[in-house]
Amino acid sequence: MKSPLLSLPGAVPAEGVDEGVAAHYGDLFREQRALADGTGFVDLSHRGVVTVSGEDRLGWLHLLLTQHVSELPAGQATEALILSAHGHIEHALYLVDDGGTVWAHVEPGTQEALIAYLESMKFFYKVEVADRTADVAVVHLPAGSITEVPEGTVVRETPHGRDLFLPRAELESFAAQAGPPAGILAYEALRVEQHRPRLGFETDHRTIPHELGWIGSAVHLQKGCYRGQETVARVQNLGKPPRRLVFLHLDGSEVHLPVPGTEIRLADEGADGRKVGFVTTSVRHHELGPVALALVKRNVPVDARLMAGDTAAAQETVVEP
C-alpha cells in the first residue's frame, strides 16, 4: 500500500519489500540520529496488520505459535513465530493484546498467507481472524519519544520503542504533530545495530530460530506442542544449529556496501576460499559506519577475519557457536 506520507518534503520512495513508504526524507544520518535521540517517527504503514478476537484467542494462538501467550497480559508486547513441520521459520508476528483483541503486525505482503494458515486451524475455537491492513497503519516511535499518542490507539511498547496501530485515516494528521519523519533506511540501520533479525532478510527457506537468537524473545522453551516444536527441542537439547548470526564491521574505505546474498569467505583463504556464509542486511550507520548482519557456518572461528565479497569484515558474535 502506498503511504500518503510519500508526499512529505524530501521523501524518496523505498524499493523492494519496503515499497510503499519512504526510504528516507533527504538526510539518512540526521534521521538515524533523531531516532537514536528519541525524536521523530517511522512510517511502517506498508506492514501487514492482522487481528484475532474472540474468547478463545489467546489459548488458540498458544497452540500455534512458538511463544507462550495463553496468559499474555493486556498491553504486554511479545513476538512469536510460526514454523513449518520441519522447524523452519515461516512467519514472524509482533503482538500485543488489548484485552479483547490480539493485534499483530507482520512483514509486508505476508498477511494473506498467515491468515490462510490461521483460518485453516480454527476448527471449533471461538476466534475471528481479520486482515486490518487496509484500515490500520503501523507507526513506530523510538525509545524515549515523548510524542503524544492519540487516545484509544493500540500501542505495542518494547525496549526499542512503541509501535502504534493507528487508523490509516489519521496517518497524515498524526505525522503533522509527531516530529521529523525518518525513513525505513534509518529504522533498518538501528535494527542492524541492535542485532535484531527480520523475516525475509536474515531468514531463508531453511532457517531455524536458534540460528538468529530468537530463542527466548520469540520462542518459549517451556510450553506445549506446536508445529515444528520437535526440531526446536532437538536442537536445543541435543545439538547445535548449523549456522549462526553475526554482526559485521565492514571496511569503510569501500564505496559500495555488499548487497544481501554476497558470499562470505575466510580472509586467510583468499578469493578462492570456500564460502562460509552470506550477508543478510547491510547498512550505513551514523556512528559505526558500514555494518551488516550475516549468517555464517557455526564452526567459523569467532575471531576469524572475513571477506564479504571484496570487502574486509570483522565479526562480532550475536549467536554463540
Q: What is the pLDDT of residues 80-100, one digit of tens each?
A: 999 999 999 999 999 999 999
pLDDT of residue 272: 83
Structural domains of the chain, with CATH: 4-47+135-194 (no CATH), 48-131 (3.30.70.1400), 242-320 (2.40.30.110)
CB atoms within 10 A of CB 9: 7
* Residue 100 CB neighbour total at 10 angstroms: 11
What does the pLDDT look like over 195-238, one tens digit per residue?
Answer: 999 999 999 999 999 999 999 999 999 988 899 999 999 999 99
pLDDT per position as a tens digit, 53-84: 999 999 999 999 999 999 999 999 999 999 99
Give helix 28-36 / helix 184-193 axis angle, nearest 10°.
60
Q: Helices (DSSP H) in the chain: which residue ranges?
A: 28-36, 57-64, 111-120, 171-177, 184-193, 229-238
pLDDT at 158 over 80: yes
Phi first, then psi, for residue 300 (nearest 5°) are: -65, 125
List b or e across 203-217, with b for residues whose CB sees 16 or more CB atoms inside 10 angstroms: beeebbbbbbbbbee
Give the whole-angstrom CA distance, residue 88 versus residue 13: 32
The answer, yes or no, to whether residue 280 has pLDDT greater than 80, is yes
Q: Which of 161, 180, 178, 194 is nearest to 285 (CA)?
A: 194
> Are 131 and 49 contacting, i.e. CB atoms less than 8 angstroms apart?
yes
Predicted local confidence at residue 1, as pLDDT: 81
